[in-house]
Structure 1
Amino acid sequence: MVDLEQLRSRKGAVRRSEIPSNVVTALNRGELETVNLVEFLIVDHVKLFRAVRPSLDLDDRAAKQIAATLKRLADEGVMQRLVQTGIAFHESLPDADRREVVYQQLAGHTSDTLRNWAAYMDAADAGMTFSKRLKRVRPFALDPNMGVREIAWMCVRLPAANEIVTQIEKLVPWAKQKHHYARRFAIELSRPCGVWTKHITELKQRPEVAETLLETCCTDESKYVQDSVANWLNDASKTRPDFVQSVCDRWLAEYDSPHTQRIAHRALRTLRKKSGGK
């Protein structure tokens, strides 16, 4: 019998071939969550859904529709699979009450992949307001699993990129929250370029829209948040070097903080490289 408690304390493998077979089996049964990107990419979503299906409040019609979607997407990239799986869950459950029941079952599951499916169910809801998206995404933004935290901002950005620009003031309270995961979410959600997601052209051209949000975290003690702020500015430096240089110069003059110094140094890395510096 597999000792799941022992497996939960494992250190993630560096290569797929190094993942123990009992870990792969437990991941595909929904008994474990992944601990790194290598494991995240090896999960068989078809097998996983088949294993957890009995625990979900799905009728046969909905279950068949979701299973067919997962099978069709088996050879697609993992992000495409997550997006389309969220759509499949949303569309196969037209009754709002039943959809919410399944959503909560996914959102509270041991498997981080199922929690990601829940997050993308909300992404598939075109009628959801930006404020409601922020409220609903909070548990995922604060999730202990790093992969779920990354999916959290992606599943808001995917359907609401334009609203990030027009309602960016709604992210400022997030940037002031005590939990550094929340602060990091606010910055990462609004990055001009981002990772594994479409760029926000307006923020690339007018990064000053986010200046108040960024300055809220310019002395942040958390390296997790510092890196996000620095990466945001480094993104912007590729299209608006003047803005980034000006902001960093001002922060360094106004804030006597080693955290600000670290952010500015990392934020200016692309500009230093272009000028021949280190």
Structure 2
Amino acid sequence: MKNEQRKGARSVKDIPKDIMKQLNKGEIESANLTEWLAADQKLLLENFLRQYNRKEYFDPILEGISSLKKQTVNTINETIGLGLFNEALKNNDEEFLSVIPGHTSDLVRCWGTYMVGRNKALSIKEKLNKIQPFASDKHFGVREICWMAVRTEMIENLEEVLFILSGWTAHKDEYIRRFASESTRPRGVWCTHIAKLKENPELGLVILEPMKSDMSKYVRDSVGNWLNDASKSSPEFVFKTCERWLQESPAKETEYIVKKALRTIQKK
């Protein structure tokens, strides 16, 4: 996964000092996963708050980071996003929050996804509406974090979520179509599994069916991975679905999805 505008270093030690400095100042986006993981979020936060004259927000958020049992890129990301949201609310500072979704730094935009996901005042429909711009972000990191930010609430409101996301499957933006399947994967990577979809994967067909021959490889990979997840607990369902899809839509795009979907079944 990489930014098309600039190639990133393959290892942290190979990241040029000037690039690292710009990343931590929020002046550029990370070009690949190596840079995304290497950025110092605490330093970025300090620079970001100084840029917008909100230095008083730093210490309370830093305290939240320090109290984490396990500090990872994702836990720090979430803590900063929630911390910024809480500080802004406490100070009636909605104007400040508005600069985050359009910020140059992809990590700052990642923080913004948690301001949506952890906003208790929003219904799940409102959260999905507000998360959609992040789902279509040009940066891979923001696209991945945005569905993690709302996944807990999605699981709690699964039927409504599936209904809403079924409408996203016809969106012209491949990133938004991909969100529909990736965010609901039964065994998503680095996140809570969705027990209802592991036990009853047919519930997900409302999302998967419209994309069974999607023209975008990005979407096809996600649909194939969704079914592969499901195959680990419901192999017969996945096999029959793939068999039917090949009959209904004998296209190379469908064949690609089916191959990906059946990879675990075929190993047995």
Q: Normalising to structure 2: TM-score of the pair?
A: 0.93
Matched, 1:51 2:33: no
Deviation at 1:51, TM superposition (A): 1.1
Q: Distance in 2 between matches of 1:59 and 1:76?
A: 22
Equivalent position to 1:205, from 199, 210, 217: 199
Equivalent position to 1:108, from 102, 112, 116: 102
Deviation at 1:108, TM superposition (A): 1.1
1:14 match: 10
Matched, 1:87 2:82: yes
What SS does structure 2 have at the residue aligned with 1:81? helix
Letter in 1 for 2:58: A
1:266 match: 260
Q: Distance in 2 between matches of 1:48 and 1:270?
A: 41
Alignment gaps of 5+ in structure 2? none
Q: Contact 2:77/2:110 (CA < 8 Å) preserved in 1?
A: yes
1:66 match: 61
Q: Distance in 1 between matches of 2:123 and 2:143?
A: 20
Equivalent position to 1:34, from 25, 30, 35: 30
2:143 match: 149
Q: Distance in 1 between matches of 2:206 and 2:138?
A: 28
Equivalent position to 2:211, from 217, 223, 227: 217
Matches within 5 A, 1:186-265: 186-265=180-259
Alignment gaps of 5+ in structure 1? 1-6
What SS does structure 2 have at the residue aligned with 1:107? coil
Distance 1:160 1:167, change over 3 A: closer
Matched, 1:124 2:111: no
Distance 1:119 1:206, change over 3 A: same
Equivalent position to 1:140, from 134, 141, 146: 134
Matched, 1:173 2:167: yes
More displaced, 206-215 or 68-77?
A: 68-77
Q: Contact 1:57/1:101 (CA < 8 Å) preserved in 2?
A: no
Equivalent position to 1:160, from 145, 154, 158: 154
Q: Distance in 1 between matches of 2:110 and 2:192?
A: 19
Residues 209-262 of structure 1, C-alpha deviation per residue, up to 9 Å, x if partnerless? 111210010010100000000000000000000110110010011112110111
Deviation at 1:36, TM superposition (A): 1.1
What SS does structure 1 have at the residue aligned with 2:167? helix
- RMSD (CA atoms): 2.0
Q: Contact 2:45/2:58 (CA < 8 Å) preserved in 1?
A: no
Q: Distance in 1 between matches of 2:125 and 2:92?
A: 21
Deviation at 1:66, TM superposition (A): 1.9
Letter in 2 for 1:153: W
Q: Contact 2:65/2:71 (CA < 8 Å) preserved in 1?
A: no
Deviation at 1:95, TM superposition (A): 4.7
Q: Percent identity?
A: 37
Q: Contact 2:135/2:179 (CA < 8 Å) preserved in 1?
A: yes
Deviation at 1:130, TM superposition (A): 1.0
Q: Normalising to structure 1: TM-score of the pair?
A: 0.90
Deviation at 1:21, TM superposition (A): 1.0
Q: Distance in 1 between matches of 2:40 and 2:232?
A: 38
Deviation at 1:96, TM superposition (A): 8.4
Distance 1:96 1:256, change over 3 A: farther
Deviation at 1:162, TM superposition (A): 2.0
- Count residues in correspondence: 266
Q: Contact 1:171/1:186 (CA < 8 Å) preserved in 2?
A: yes
Deviation at 1:71, TM superposition (A): 5.2
Equivalent position to 2:73, from 66, 78, 97: 78
Residues 43-65 of structure 1, C-alpha deviation per residue, up to 9 Å, x if partnerless? 111111111113336372x3331
Q: Distance in 1 between matches of 2:91 and 2:236?
A: 48
Q: Distance in 2 between matches of 1:96 and 1:167?
A: 32
Letter in 2 for 1:120: Y
